[in-house]
Chains A and B, each alone.
Chain A
């Protein structure tokens, strides 16, 4: 695995990715079909949609309807990709996703953009800290929270083709860059980004770059930690979690989500069943979101490298 972590943002935004990859994939595969709920311009697919209204379908502001239509298209032999903002890709259409797609085995991919604090200026109503919790409770679902676009390039086509309901949460802008282009990733397999014996930080999405930074800050203090990018939150790479719990004796998760039902819950459930060690958590403390710039919100909700450092030190002390 070739890393490219410098602490700076990924030069490509996720919007760049979606705006080029979704049209390219639609052109390449006539069975693929893309649906949106009046937010095509937000992920760069509006132009393609105008030219190909039968391949990129704007369903209007009707997310439940969109999810149901996607399920019907799946039943008719298509591979649907849907997009809307994270809160609407989870809360607003969950029963349709759950029953018409999940329960009925009509396989769809749902992209929810601007997860957690990255909803920023849209504010609390648009800030999903619960989307992962909801999708984790959907049997057979796959949940991916990519660290950067290089990673997403490698896995997106596989994700879309996987059976079941797939939920992809990604910022429209960019996270910190972590990877060099050209790496390949496997859905369901976590990536070890750094090795250290004192503790393991397990992070996903927006928090992966923050975890790398935290590891650097900890190293300056003489604490050497391992860092794992757990971009697939479900199915969780339980083997890797257990192995690093055993190896390092302490685990701290870091996620841009409520501490209830997300990565911390998944990892804690796994540890309880495999290798119980002290497990700390950097996540939103069961609160609603609010409006503001991302950096302010990261500080406000405790999602900075400094918060990870403090949690690691606390957790190591419990060993």
Chain B
């Protein structure tokens, strides 16, 4: 990936963060930590990796995204709106009566959402079924599955992982958002995950570990050609990533803060974006 492509993805990630924070600000509260930590990934997926048609969101051969940690929906809504799946204005309806943007991903409500999730763990098996179905139909697409590092406490995730490797579903990419926290606190204090890469390898995957905010490394991992095994990507990550003040908030799963505080988060990302633009101008 050349420098300008890389900058483009970093810019997209910042735009996603800004749209996400505006969206949460409009409602006043929401699942900010786990939404922020997938923004770089979403920028790479929707900016460069995934094949999809904005004008035909249900195109059968599209690549699909399953966000099994369904509470990160707001980050995906921001991405989809920026890509034109629906108007940006709609982001302000998050969790409002009658909205098409509920707190957890819902494929029957939101244009561009491929899988309904919210009860943690369940996206994994659905993703397996979607990938298996696509393979049986002879499609050339891929399914990308995002799983939380707290979510993998659910035994269902490991049932789905066993099945993925057993059926060698190389059209399914597992991405574990190892952001070190779940709802009640640090994952290490609740149920330590130990070596996730070794775990996934032992389950029959080709597993790689990359920094969750390194768009180039994410891109390379996502485009890695499977060599006889499905690929699992462990994102070494920080909950709330990209907004220092959120990263440093101990309890950042769901936050309810004043509009000025949301504005300060937005300003911080805007400053990063400006620095990036300057880099581009100077290059």
A60 cross-chain contacts in B, Cβ below 8 A: 150, 153, 182, 190-191
**B184 and A41 form a contact (CB under 8 A):** yes
**B97 and A293 form a contact (CB under 8 A):** yes
A161 CB-CB contact with B under 8 Å: no
**A38 and B118 form a contact (CB under 8 A):** no
**In the complex the two chains form, what is the Cα distance from A39 to B97 in whole Å?**
26
| Nearest residue, chain B, Cβ from A36 | B184
Checking A61, A123, A300 against B120 with a beta-carbon cut-off of 8 angstroms, the contacting residue is A61
**A62 and B155 form a contact (CB under 8 A):** yes
**In the complex the two chains form, what is the Cα distance from A121 to B121 in whole Å?**
20
A40 cross-chain contacts in B, Cβ below 8 A: 184
**In the complex the two chains form, what is the Cα distance from A61 to B121 in whole Å?**
9
**In the complex the two chains form, what is the Cα distance from A60 to B106 in whole Å?**
25
**In the complex the two chains form, what is the Cα distance from A124 to B118 in whole Å?**
9
A126 CB-CB contact with B under 8 Å: yes
A41 cross-chain contacts in B, Cβ below 8 A: 183-185, 251
B96 CB-CB contact with A under 8 Å: yes
B119 CB-CB contact with A under 8 Å: yes
**In the complex the two chains form, what is the Cα distance from A5 to B70 in whole Å?**
39
Interface string of B82-119 (1 = CB under 8 A from A): 00000000000001111100111010000000001111
Checking A42, A64, A92, A121 against B95 with a beta-carbon cut-off of 8 angstroms, the contacting residue is A121
**In the complex the two chains form, what is the Cα distance from A38 to B117 in whole Å?**
18
| Nearest residue, chain B, Cβ from A63 | B154
A122 cross-chain contacts in B, Cβ below 8 A: 103-104, 118
**In the complex the two chains form, what is the Cα distance from A275 to B96 in whole Å?**
44
Most buried by B among A87, A125, A290: A125
Interface string of A27-67 (1 = CB under 8 A from B): 00000000010111110001001000000001111101100
B177 CB-CB contact with A under 8 Å: no
**In the complex the two chains form, what is the Cα distance from A59 to B153 in whole Å?**
9
Checking B96, B97, B153 against A300 with a beta-carbon cut-off of 8 angstroms, the contacting residue is B97
**In the complex the two chains form, what is the Cα distance from A59 to B104 in whole Å?**
23
**A46 and B118 form a contact (CB under 8 A):** no
B178 cross-chain contacts in A, Cβ below 8 A: none
Given contacts A38-B182, A46-B185, A92-B119, whether A62 and B95 have CB atoms under 8 Å apart is no
**A61 and B150 form a contact (CB under 8 A):** yes
User: What's the least CB distance linking B120 to chain A, in Å?
Assistant: 5
B99 cross-chain contacts in A, Cβ below 8 A: 291-292
User: What's the least CB distance linking B233 to chain A, in Å?
Assistant: 21
**In the complex the two chains form, what is the Cα distance from A58 to B150 in whole Å?**
12
**A290 and B102 form a contact (CB under 8 A):** yes
**B153 and A125 form a contact (CB under 8 A):** no
| Nearest residue, chain A, Cβ from B187 | A60
Checking A58, A65, A125, A296 against B184 with a beta-carbon cut-off of 8 angstroms, the contacting residue is A58
B15 CB-CB contact with A under 8 Å: no
15 residue pairs of the A-B complex, CB under 8 angstroms, read A39-B183, A41-B184, A58-B190, A59-B191, A60-B190, A61-B120, A61-B183, A62-B155, A92-B119, A123-B102, A123-B118, A124-B104, A125-B104, A125-B106, A300-B97
B residues whose Cβ falls under 8 Å from a Cβ of A: 29, 70, 95-99, 102-104, 106, 116-121, 150-151, 153-155, 182-185, 190-191, 251
